[in-house]
Amino acid sequence: MSDETNSNNERAMSDDALRREILIGRVIDGQALPDDWDALRALAEQDPAVWDDLNETQRQQELLCAGVSRVTAVADEIEIDDALVDPEPMVRRLRLVGSWGGWAAAASLALLWSLGINPLQSGTGGQAAGPFATLQPDLTPDDALNQYLDTGREAGRVIREVPDRVVVRAEPLNGGRQVEVLYLRQILERQIVSQVYRESVDELGNELAVPVRLEPDTSGGSIW
C-alpha cells in the first residue's frame, strides 16, 4: 500500500474514528488514564462493537508481538565482534566480486595456483581435506554441510553462506505432485594469499597465469 493511499485513508478516517482507535490503543498499551476509560465506555454505550474491536485489536497485537519476537530473536546471535575483525577487507573483497563479475571463475583458478597448486594441470588433489577431514561417516548431507560451515567459521575460512539459492532447473515429477529443483548453494570463503593470478593464453595458445597487482582501494565507496 502506498503512502499516497495512506494519505487518502488518513483523510477518510474521521476525528471520532481516530479518537476511538487512540483510546483502544491506549488500553492495549497500558497507557489509558481514568478519563480515557470513561470516554471508551461512553463510546461503547453508543456502539457496543467498540468492545469487539478492542478484543480483536488486542489479540492481533499479541500475535504481532509474537511474530516480531520470533523473527528478531536471531539478533541475539549477531555479535558486533564479527564486524570488528577488520571489516574493510571483507567489504573490498565483496566489491571485487561484484565489479569483476565473470572474472571470478578465473580468479578461483588463480587462487589455487598461488597456493602452490597448478590450476592448469588436471587432478589437483594436493589440498588437505580441510574442515571435511574430520567428518563422521553417519552424517546426513545437511549435517555434514553444517559441520563444514561451523568448522569453517571457527577457522576463519567460511564467512557465510549466501542465503539465496539460485535455481538452475525446476521440473514437475509424478504427474505434478512433486517438483525436482536443481539449485546452487553459494558459500563465501576467505583465504589469505600472497599473490593472485589471471588465467590467460600466450601467442602460441599455451595457457599461462599472469600475476595481478591489486591496488589498495581508496574510493571510500561501499557495496552496501
Partner 1 sequence: MDEGREAAGQDVVGAIAGDRDALRRLWQEHRRWVATILIAHKPRECEVEDLLQAVAVQVVRKLGELRDPGAFRPWLRTIAVNAARAEGRKITRRGPTLRLTSETPGAPNGSPVDGADEVERLMELARELPESYREPLLMRCARGMSYKQIGAILDLPETTIETRIARGRRMLRELAGCEQTPAGAGKSGKRPGRWSVVV
Q: Using CB under 8 A as the criterion, which residues of the chain lie in contact with partner 1 when the complex forms? A: 1-3, 5-6, 9-10, 13, 17-18, 21-22, 24-26, 28-29, 31, 53, 56-57, 60-61, 63-72, 74-84, 87-88, 90-91, 142, 160, 163-167, 170, 179, 181, 183, 222, 224
What are the grid coordinates assigned to 26, written together?
A: 491506549
Shortest Cβ 45–partner 1 spacing (Å): 21
* 64 or 105: CB nearest partner 1: 64
Shortest Cβ 174–partner 1 spacing (Å): 14
Report the alpha-carbon distance of residue 41 to residue 20 in Å, rounded.
Answer: 11
Q: How many CB atoms lie within 10 A of CB 192?
A: 6
- Cβ 27 vs Cβ 40: under 8 Å: yes
Q: How many CB atoms lie within 10 A of CB 113?
A: 20
Shortest Cβ 38–partner 1 spacing (Å): 18
* 48 or 125: CB nearest partner 1: 48
Shortest Cβ 21–partner 1 spacing (Å): 4
* 24 or 106: CB nearest partner 1: 24
Report the alpha-carbon distance of residue 108 to residue 209 in Å, rounded.
Answer: 12
Report the alpha-carbon distance of residue 39 to residue 24 in Å, rounded.
Answer: 10
* 1 or 204: CB nearest partner 1: 1
* Bridge partners (DSSP) listed for residue 199: 209
- Cβ 149 vs Cβ 158: under 8 Å: yes
* 51 or 115: CB nearest partner 1: 51
Q: What is the dihedral of CA 95, 164, 161, 134, to 10 degrees?
A: -140
Report the alpha-carbon distance of residue 174 to residue 144 in Å, rounded.
Answer: 29
* 21 or 207: CB nearest partner 1: 21
- Amino acid at position 101, single letter: G
Shortest Cβ 147–partner 1 spacing (Å): 16
Shortest Cβ 16–partner 1 spacing (Å): 13
* 155 or 162: CB nearest partner 1: 162
Shortest Cβ 24–partner 1 spacing (Å): 7
Phi/psi zone of residue 220: left (φ > 0), alpha (ψ -120 to 50 degrees), beta? left
What are the grid coordinates assigned to 43, written together?
A: 463510546
